[in-house]
Chains A and B, each alone.
Chain A
Amino acid sequence: MSEKEIMDRLKSIVKPYAQRQEGLDNFEESTDFINDLEINSANLVDVVLDVEDEFNIEIDNDSMEGMLTVGDAKSIIQNKLKHP
């Protein structure tokens, strides 16, 4: 799966939880889920579950711990797709 496709799918996943349009408009690897997109911390776990469903992967607690930015999520997805 191309990087662009992962990023596009991630963007549609976070959209319903993001409370800051500016963060969505400048959606890039450094985008921080809490600071830039203002996703509620309780909803971060929903993002993790939606990523699991969308990419058909399992995100363990150790990986979830470090999923603070879009780039973090992208790397986790790429790793899990490579080594399921």
Chain B
Amino acid sequence: MIGNDIIDLSIARLENKTNNPRYCKKVFTGKERDIIEAESDKEKMLWTLWAMKETAYKAHQRRFNLARKINPLDYECDSESIVNIGEWKYKVEVDRNEHYIHCSTTQDNLQSYIYPSLEFLFENFLTDLREQNIFRHDEIGVVKNRYGIPSILDKTNSETIPFSLSHHGKFTAIVIPLINC
């Protein structure tokens, strides 16, 4: 099941969360706080773990159709690629550079797209999908279901493939599974 999260480091770094122990205690388990403390760039590690947890949360919530919750402590990163929630494990792929952190789940074969602005977001996304022949047909559009979960609709055969969208600062990241295509 898909989930993804993007962090614009130019915004996140300003929040200086590593110097806010109350915040850290509400969001990160003892084990996660140890992982953060062990790093030289603590702020970047903190936001990496946040993005991993958020990614696993989105995938887990979709997988079981769960009501929304603010429960970051229930999701624990046990390394830089695995997040545990109860008995479930999510493998998360982390893509980081000096500008952003992007995490996505890797259960499915996923294709990621990162856009530097919100302008013509879906138009650009659809153009990229068509140019890369991700779908068999070019007649595709974006639809949302009643839970607000967005999908690509293949208008030729009415198939829908849900995608996951994350937005932070100037960046928007979209991941879409390549299965069923």
- Interface residue from A34, A40, A49, A61 paired with B71 (Cβ < 8 Å): A61
- Interface residue from A35, A40, A42, A65 paired with B69 (Cβ < 8 Å): A65
How far does the Cβ of A40 sit from chain B's closest Cβ, in whole Å? 7
How far does the Cβ of A23 sit from chain B's closest Cβ, in whole Å? 15
Binding site for A on B (CB under 8 A): 12, 15, 22-23, 26-27, 50, 54, 68-73, 148, 168
Q: A40-B168, A61-B26 are known contacts. Are A45 and B72 too (CB-CB below 8 A)?
A: yes
Binding site for B on A (CB under 8 A): 34-35, 40-42, 44-46, 48-49, 61, 64-68
How far does the Cβ of A77 sit from chain B's closest Cβ, in whole Å? 16
For chain B, what secondary structure do more than half of its interface residues adopt (helix, strand, loop), or is it mixed?
helix
Verify A65–B70 contact, CB threshold 8 A. yes
- Interface residue from B23, B26, B50 paired with A64 (Cβ < 8 Å): B26
Verify A65–B23 contact, CB threshold 8 A. no
Verify B54–A41 contact, CB threshold 8 A. yes
Verify A49–B22 contact, CB threshold 8 A. yes
Verify B23–A45 contact, CB threshold 8 A. yes
Known: A46-B23, A48-B26, A68-B68. 4 other contacts (CB 8 A): A35-B148, A41-B54, A45-B27, A64-B71
